[in-house]
A and B are shown apart, each in its own frame.
Chain A
């Protein structure tokens, strides 16, 4: 029965992809639900333009109209800003019959409600129980994996993750598998949910790096460590970057150890964009294997909004969606070039991943989900403005 579902969904995905190709459309549309059209010009350009049209002198002195620029920019960000919308699930253009994706769709017709009711029956009555039957298998394998020898452990691992994939009915398309990460390297990918790990690990073995969690996630983490060396740390320990960097470089130097899997964004983003990569993993100086992961939101929203849902709630959502459909692209390996520092290297890798996955490439820090804006951003604005004023006066 579950094979049946599996094949049905696979066929549906293929049909959609073919349909999109025929119409020459992109299957995963770039996120373009903006309310307003924003001016791409820089601060200097805008202020110079304002001055020229005003006093006709284009002089560099302060003008009363300069405030318009800041005022307009401020109000624009009140109406629509780049960051807030990345931390909530993406809006769909058409409803996928899941209440959780229902933002703007209200009672439209009785027929649609009946369809939705049918969908609920199928998802909770048939798909969910079928997926649950996979869990005992996963648990057994995890418990026994610690005692197996390392050459068996690889096979066990793959089997375990593939059962997880079946448990979620994840339909994954792997592209360019010749670029799969090898030992002694670091694999970096964009982060949308903990399922990213399952998706990548079912196609290859990795050593994981990540924040220690409590609850169900913590139990899973501790079980995994028994089989394979993973590096879990506390976020507070992250502040001691040298410690983490040392552990990572030791691991990488040992060629017999598995490639490390890192998500440099540091937090879950909603899969419409790639946010700033933390430079830590790019300072180590080994080969980096970038991977782009893109989910199809029509079958189920994979983004984990950790401030809204806990892990168990999230897993329930995942297992009662239609399916998790995603594409994984293995990009060719990259290394730091001469004269390139860690930040530039990180941005280069980020741009490559964003390009391949059809995601927006943003400079914003994913940490803004939790923290306030650093003063340094405001100072940047002030610096730019003062250059326009004072710089001109010195002429």
Chain B
């Protein structure tokens, strides 16, 4: 359609982005429009404040962590390609993709989705979810609804179940193992229309 191709021309490196993320031209255009709507001051990039302005996101208990996942390495600006690369994690897994052992995993592979979720827990990025980090997440999701003792007992129990090498922390492999049976594709995917 006339309008899609002309907007596509405005997006820098659209071809490469599509190759890397697997988004179709129509999706990319839609995301570009959304990027512009969120960028109210027309700066050309997004800041954490632009995200907090989304009302539905602001009421999410782990709002800060999700925003943190977009602004990796502490940066305060997010350009469009980075925006799209993060969102690509949530594309449904391509079941028909041929498995080439030498090519890197696509962004939306099961493994990468798990890595994304893992970093929501592992804020200090040391590769392990410590008891302290687990408690922080629980506190964010439950706040005033349960007592501190209840939070601690939940954290203890979770670590006990998932921590296989008994180092009082959950590594990425242990995380992956405990979520073996969960349908990650369904739960960590967003259905993009057309």
Would you call A79 and B190 a contact (CB within 8 A)?
yes
**A62 / chain B contacts, CB cutoff of 8 Å:** 138, 154, 157-158
Given contacts A68-B188, A71-B117, A390-B150, contact A382 B144 (CB under 8 A): yes
**A383 / chain B contacts, CB cutoff of 8 Å:** 145
Given contacts A64-B178, A84-B37, contact A77 B54 (CB under 8 A): yes
Please provide the chain B residues from 60 to 111 with a CB less than 8 Å away from any CB of chain A in the complex. 60-63, 66, 87, 90
B139 to chain A, nearest CB (A): 10
User: Counting CB contacts under 8 A, is B43 at the interface?
Assistant: no
**A64 / chain B contacts, CB cutoff of 8 Å:** 121, 158, 162, 170, 175, 178-179
What are 19 A-B contacts defined by CB distance under 8 Å? A36-B190, A50-B182, A53-B182, A62-B154, A64-B178, A68-B117, A70-B61, A70-B66, A70-B141, A72-B187, A72-B189, A74-B66, A78-B57, A104-B3, A105-B2, A105-B3, A378-B59, A382-B141, A390-B145
Please give the number of chain B residues whose Cβ is less than 8 angstroms from any Cβ of chain A in the complex. Answer: 56
A385 CA / B175 CA spacing, docked (Å): 21
User: Counting CB contacts under 8 A, is B191 at the interface?
Assistant: yes
A5 CA / B154 CA spacing, docked (Å): 72
Residues of A within 8 A of B (CB): 34-37, 50, 53-56, 61-85, 88, 104-108, 364, 368, 372-373, 377-383, 385-386, 389-390
Given contacts A78-B54, A373-B58, contact A50 B187 (CB under 8 A): yes
Would you call B59 and A390 a contact (CB within 8 A)?
no
User: Counting CB contacts under 8 A, is B166 at the interface?
Assistant: no
Would you call A382 and B157 a contact (CB within 8 A)?
no
Q: A68-B182, A378-B61 known; 15 other A-B pairs, CB under 8 Å?
A: A36-B193, A53-B181, A65-B187, A70-B60, A71-B62, A71-B66, A71-B117, A71-B120, A71-B188, A74-B60, A74-B66, A79-B190, A84-B54, A368-B55, A382-B145
A263 to chain B, nearest CB (A): 21
Among A34, A88, A386, the residue within 8 A (CB) of B145 is A386
A117 CA / B21 CA spacing, docked (Å): 41
Please provide the chain B residues from 165 to 194 with a CB less than 8 Å away from any CB of chain A in the complex. 170, 175, 178-179, 181-184, 187-193
A56 CA / B179 CA spacing, docked (Å): 11
User: Counting CB contacts under 8 A, is B142 at the interface?
Assistant: yes
B191 to chain A, nearest CB (A): 4
Would you call A81 and B55 a contact (CB within 8 A)?
yes
Among A79, A84, A108, the residue within 8 A (CB) of B2 is A108
Among B38, B116, B146, B182, the residue within 8 A (CB) of A54 is B182
**B20 / chain A contacts, CB cutoff of 8 Å:** none
**A72 / chain B contacts, CB cutoff of 8 Å:** 90, 187-190
A160 to chain B, nearest CB (A): 39
Please provide the chain B residues from 28 to 70 with a CB less than 8 Å away from any CB of chain A in the complex. 30-31, 33-34, 37-38, 51, 54-63, 66
Given contacts A72-B187, A381-B60, contact A79 B142 (CB under 8 A): no
User: Counting CB contacts under 8 A, is B17 at the interface?
Assistant: no
User: Counting CB contacts under 8 A, is B7 at the interface?
Assistant: yes
A62 CA / B189 CA spacing, docked (Å): 21
Given contacts A35-B30, A80-B34, contact A373 B179 (CB under 8 A): no
A76 CA / B84 CA spacing, docked (Å): 13
B183 to chain A, nearest CB (A): 5
Would you call A65 and B179 a contact (CB within 8 A)?
yes
What 7 A-B pairs come out closest when comparing CB atoms? A386-B145, A77-B56, A377-B59, A74-B66, A37-B191, A54-B182, A373-B58
**B51 / chain A contacts, CB cutoff of 8 Å:** 78
A71 CA / B187 CA spacing, docked (Å): 9
B93 to chain A, nearest CB (A): 14
User: By CB atoms of chain B within 10 A, which of A74, A84, A372 has the most?
Assistant: A74
Would you call B179 and A54 a contact (CB within 8 A)?
yes
User: Counting CB contacts under 8 A, is B6 at the interface?
Assistant: yes
